[in-house]
Amino acid sequence: MSFNEIRWHPLLGTWNIVASGRATRPWRDVKCPFCPGAPETGEGWDVISLDNRYPSLSTTPVISAAAPSFSETRPGYGRCKVVIETPDHEGDLDTISFKNLVKYVEILGRETEELARDPEIKYVAPFRNKGELIGVSIHHPHSQIYALPFIPLKIERELEFMTRYNREKGTCVICDIVKEEQGGGRVVYSNRDFILILPFYAQWPHECHIYPRRHFQLLSELTAMEKESLADILLITVAMYNSLFSFSLPYMMVIHQAPVKGQHPQYHLHIEFYTIHRYADKLKYAAGIEWGYWAFTYDELPENRVKELKQAARKAVERLGKQQYSPLGVFQP
């Protein structure tokens, strides 16, 4: 019997996802379940989304036991999806054809829309983990989407502060950042619809954010042009990271969009990339102060890290040129 539940954390005011059936999921080195011809994927595809075979959340959740009085247990209702970005077993978002990258963006938008229709789903979280150091269990390039029965704490916090900023200044904080940082030193790259920036308030080494120029809330609202622009800036971002050191850089990519129930006009969709390498041979850990207190320490001026990224971006463009790709936007010198 496997259980899927969410347990209330009474000290932090958020939910933990508890799933007991996942301990048996495959861990590396087994035959790739995502390569073409595998039972899950079949043949004749370029980008596909599937249900995760070992989901943390379920559409038929069973609760293990009632919660003690100081907490609460609810069914772990939700969906976990996998988006397989290429039939190739190795690679990253910068080795996929531009056409398929646009398709990838379209799938994320379509999944957001479909998952949002479920009355129980409050939040759709698309993310991508890359590299063994990040804990990836299957090497084949893929992203994941969690459709959650609650709004994650970080999103609640962003929503609260975007709303507060709007109340105090009458504008949107991300719109203001895009305006003020435009043409400035922290911007690495920008195209018609998005900017790539190492934020003033970065927490991880080489952390970068992608901000849309237009103020909107959900991936399902991307215009056809914006889908192309987003594919372009994702390609540039990942190619830049993979040119930073002499190896393919592990990272987490998270798409922060608005909750899918109710109206959240203050929220401005964006994408965040977290990297853990301070140097080629030195990692940044979320240790006592970071994880224990959520107080991040950054061991260099973010403005100096941007210089390293700009150098990497130049190398990336050369490499992409050899793959016949020319960026749609411009690099900030």
- Please give the residue ranges that form the binding site for Zn ion (CB under 5 A): 32, 34-35, 89, 140, 172, 174-175, 215, 256, 268
Distance of closest approach, residue 37 Cβ to Zn ion, in angstroms: 10
Distance CA 205, CA 217 (A): 27
Distance CA 64, CA 217 (A): 36
Write out the DSSP string of 215-244: ----GGG--HHHHHHHHHHHHHHHHHHHTT
Retrieve residue 218's tokens.
């959900």
Q: How many CB atoms lie within 10 A of CB 66?
A: 9
Q: Hey, which residues does 75 pair with through a beta bridge? A: 5
Closest CB to Zn ion among 35 and 159? 35
Closest CB to Zn ion among 35 and 63? 35
**Residue in 140, 142, 270, 277 annotated catalytic:** 142
Given the structure tokens 């224990």, which residue do they identify?
292
Distance of closest approach, residue 114 Cβ to Zn ion, in angstroms: 23
Q: How many CB atoms lie within 10 A of CB 60?
A: 7
Write out the DSSP string of 107-171: HHHHHHHHHHTSTT--EEEEEEEESGGGT-S--S-EEEEEEESS--HHHHHHHHHHHHHHHHHSS
Closest CB to Zn ion among 186 and 268? 268
| φ, ψ (nearest 5 deg) of residue 8 | -75, 130
Residue length of the chain:
333
Distance of closest approach, residue 67 Cβ to Zn ion, in angstroms: 30
Helix, strand, or coil (residue 300): coil
Distance of closest approach, residue 183 Cβ to Zn ion, in angstroms: 18
Distance of closest approach, residue 216 Cβ to Zn ion, in angstroms: 8
Distance CA 322, CA 279 (A): 27
Closest CB to Zn ion among 74 and 215? 215
Give the CA distances from residue 255 to residues 109, 228, 252, 325, in Å, rounded to whole numbers and listed in that order: 11, 17, 10, 25
Verify whether residue 142 is a known catalytic residue. yes
Closest CB to Zn ion among 140 and 227? 140
Closest CB to Zn ion among 155 and 317? 155
Residue pair 263/206 in contact by the 8 Å Cβ criterion: no
Distance of closest approach, residue 255 Cβ to Zn ion, in angstroms: 9
Determine the Cα angle at 234 with ends 243 and 84, to 5°.
100
What are the catalytic residues? 142
